[in-house]
């Protein structure tokens, strides 16, 4: 097991390297650059700026300098657009925000989603099931970029209960709406996957055998059905956890949380190369890590899996 984890972590290095190279080349292939602006800079001013940021060097040299900086100094470079900030600053400030509302959303979505899915499966084809299925479909049909403005209209403008945006160090009033807007659709997906998986397990032979042996139904569900029914959910949870803690562009945009999610899109639009690469590395590393975590949880859930 330990060997397996080490192997997986080691293969993460070349994976990340490839990711950085592809991202780097794609960024530089896009037309324009960080200093392309409405007001074209005089050539000598542009030359000074490019020299300052090393953009006058050939591409391979820029890539090499970047990688050396990251590996030896853990320095992800400066932001070309927000000139008072380095990429390290941006991530150090924005990641805790998305980590906070992402983790809360994740826990909420998982608990409620799994409970709804299991409950619906156990009451298959009753009104409970229909209600749960109906609720999940409507939650999925309501994307968060529609939901976020609606939440603000209701809770901020009409009722005046919650602030319409901001973060303020993560006080609870500021966290409520981002969590609702972010968790709803994940909750719905989890509930649907859980319901389908549970139904399948409940109709499998070993559950039928357990029933025939006369085991009480709580034992059947908790001891025998739950674990295998969680498998599909777990494989969904790994990547979605990463997506949630690295923030959603929509949440950061509508609620001005200052999270790292918005930087992903802004950096691409602004050609803020270093920020783009930094956020990509963060995203990539977390994805690799939590896919590994999901695989480890698998092994625990399913005794047939051995690494």
For another protein, the binding residues (CB under 8 A) are 30-33, 35-42, 44-45, 48-49, 51-52, 78, 81-85, 90, 93-94, 148-149, 152-153, 156-157, 160, 163-167, 252-254, 256-259, 262-263, 266, 269-271
- What token pair was written down for 28? 């530089």
C-beta of 193 vs 252, nearer to another protein? 252
Please state the closest distance from residue 159 (CB atom) to another protein, in A. Answer: 10
Residue in the block written with tokens 């190369």: 273
C-beta of 118 vs 244, nearer to another protein? 244
C-beta of 78 vs 278, nearer to another protein? 78
C-beta of 32 vs 58, nearer to another protein? 32
> Rounded to an integer, what distance in angstroms lies between the CA atom of residue 252 and that of residue 165?
9
Whole-Å CA distances, 138 to 141, 182, 252: 5, 15, 23
Where do the H-state alpha helices sit in the chain? 2-29, 43-52, 59-73, 87-122, 127-141, 144-151, 172-202, 205-212, 217-219, 226-245, 249-255, 261-270, 273-301
Roughly how many angstroms between the first and final C-alpha of the chain, as a whole number? 6
- What token pair was written down for 182? 């972010």
C-beta of 157 vs 172, nearer to another protein? 157
C-beta of 254 vs 290, nearer to another protein? 254
Please state the closest distance from residue 269 (CB atom) to another protein, in A. Answer: 7
Please state the closest distance from residue 73 (CB atom) to another protein, in A. Answer: 15
Contact 87, 76 (CB under 8 A): yes
> Rounded to an integer, what distance in angstroms lies between the CA atom of residue 260 and that of residue 134?
33
Please state the closest distance from residue 47 (CB atom) to another protein, in A. Answer: 8
Name the CA dihedral angle for 19, 24, 27, 33, rounded to a multiple of 10 degrees: 160
Residues ≥6 apart with Cβ < 8 Å to 91:
76, 260, 278, 279, 282
Please state the closest distance from residue 167 (CB atom) to another protein, in A. Answer: 5
C-beta of 132 vs 162, nearer to another protein? 162
């Amino acid at each position: 097991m330990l060997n397996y984890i080490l192997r997986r972590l080691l293969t993460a290095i070349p994976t990340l390297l490839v990711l950085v190279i592809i991202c780097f080349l794609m960024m530089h292939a896009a037309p324009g650059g960080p200093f392309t602006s409405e007001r074209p800079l005089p050539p000598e001013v542009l030359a000074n700026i490019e020299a300052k940021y090393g953009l006058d060097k050939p591409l391979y040299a820029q890539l090499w300098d970047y990688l050396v900086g990251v590996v030896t100094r853990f320095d992800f470079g400066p932001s070309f657009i927000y000139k008072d900030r380095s990429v390290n600053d941006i991530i150090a400030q924005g990641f805790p925000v998305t980590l906070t509302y992402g983790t809360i959303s994740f826990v909420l979505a998982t608990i409620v989603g799994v409970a709804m899915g299991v409950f619906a499966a156990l009451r298959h084809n009753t009104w409970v099931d229909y209600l749960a299925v109906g609720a999940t479909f409507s939650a999925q049909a309501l994307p968060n970029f529609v939901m976020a403005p609606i939440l603000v209209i209701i809770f901020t403008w009409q009722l005046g209960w919650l602030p319409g945006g901001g973060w303020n160090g993560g006080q609870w009033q500021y966290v409520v709406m981002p969590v609702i807007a972010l968790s709803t659709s994940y909750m719905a997906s989890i509930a649907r996957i859980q319901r389908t998986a549970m139904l399948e397990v409940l109709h499998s032979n070993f559950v039928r055998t357990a029933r025939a042996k006369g085991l009480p139904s709580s034992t059947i569900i908790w001891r025998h059905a739950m674990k295998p029914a969680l498998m599909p959910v777990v494989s969904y949870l790994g990547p979605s956890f990463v997506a949630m803690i690295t923030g959603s562009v929509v949440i950061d945009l509508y609620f001005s949380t200052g999270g790292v999610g918005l930087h992903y899109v802004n950096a691409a639009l602004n050609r803020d190369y270093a920020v783009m690469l930094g956020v990509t590395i963060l995203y990539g590393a977390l994805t690799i890590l939590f896919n590994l975590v999901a695989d480890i949880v698998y092994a625990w859930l399913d005794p047939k899996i051995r690494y």
